[in-house]
Amino acid sequence: MRWQIGEDPVLSVSGAGHVDCNLYEQGDRLVLHLVNVSSASSIPGTLDELVPVGPFEIVLKHSVLRSSTTARALVSEVDISVDSGDGVVSFILPRIEDHEIVVLGENS
């Protein structure tokens, strides 16, 4: 798909496991919601068990992001160390059990 849009994607997530990702913009911050779907059952909307997945390397490219961007994982209640520059932020999310919400902004 990259060749079709002619540029790098806004969101790139790579790591061990399957996650559903949704990125939202709220004013001067971004909210990334990741859901662990690695243990999804054959019955839609159900899980057989929770099997933690990760780590994940996440790269975001967005005009809202600045060099002073910070990140906070709300479910695991931890601050995340980010590498940032030129509107691109990258960080490692070590683990997702069921879901995680990461808030990125100047004062996450």
Residue 107: which pLDDT band, with cuts at 50, 70 and 90?
A: low
Q: What's the chain look like in SS3? A: CHHHHCCCCCEEEEECCCEEEEEEEECCEEEEEEEECCCECCCCCCECCCCCECCEEEEEECCCCCCCCEEEECCCCEEECEEEECCEEEEEECCECCEEEEEEECCC
Count Cα neighbours of 41 within 13 Å in the Cβ-side half-sphere: 8
Structure confidence at residue 69 (pLDDT): 78
> What is the per-residue pLDDT for 38?
85
69-93 pLDDT per residue, tens: 789 999 999 999 999 887 789 999 9
How far is the C-alpha of 91 from the C-alpha of 63, rounded, in Å?
17
Q: What CATH number has the domain bearing residue 59?
A: 2.60.40.1180
Q: Does pLDDT of 2 surpass 90?
A: no
**Whole domain around residue 57: which residue ranges?**
2-105
Over 70: is that where the pLDDT of 94 sits? Answer: yes
Fill in the amino acid letter for 16. Answer: A
What per-residue confidence (pLDDT) applies to 108? 55
Identify the pLDDT of residue 48: 72
Q: What's the whole-number average pLDDT of the chain?
A: 86
Assess contact for 91 and 34: CB atoms under 8 A.
no
Count of domains observed in the chain: 1
